[in-house]
Amino acid sequence: MLTNAPGHCREPRARWLARNGFPYPLVINSGPKGPAVAALAARTRAPVAFVDDLLSNLESVAADAPDVRRFQHVADARLRPFAPGDPERHHRVDDWPALAEAIRLSLGLPPE
């Protein structure tokens, strides 16, 4: 998991993600996420998924790591109307369980 959260937020963010079914290592980043995602994706031959709420980060990943599967997710329903998307380029799933399933399917993993 890649986040632009400040370093002091690592542990609370990791706990929150784990409670929502994403118990994965957390990497702290700053700035556009495309270069970091490209570097992380280069470390594996397996398919990679990227989730973000901001269209700018999804576009950055599309430019720097075009083979990465991209998902837009806005967890807070109050913010959804203010988060523009591009559904033709990035799949949008705002429900945590549906997002987990969409990622599993996109990576070719069996459903839970």
Give the pLDDT confidence of 73-96 residue by residue, as tens digits.
Answer: 999 999 999 999 999 999 999 998
Dihedral sign from CA coordinates of 60, 61, 67, 69: negative
What are the backbone angles phi and psi of residue 9, rounded to the nearest 5°? -95, 0
- Confidence at residue 111, expressed as pLDDT on a 0 to 100 scale: 72
Q: Which pLDDT tens digit goes with each residue over 32-55? A: 999 999 999 999 999 999 999 999
∠ CA 3-18-94, rounded to 5°: 70
Residue 70 per-residue DSSP state:
E
CA dist 52 and 94 (Å) reads 11
Residue 111 per-residue DSSP state:
P
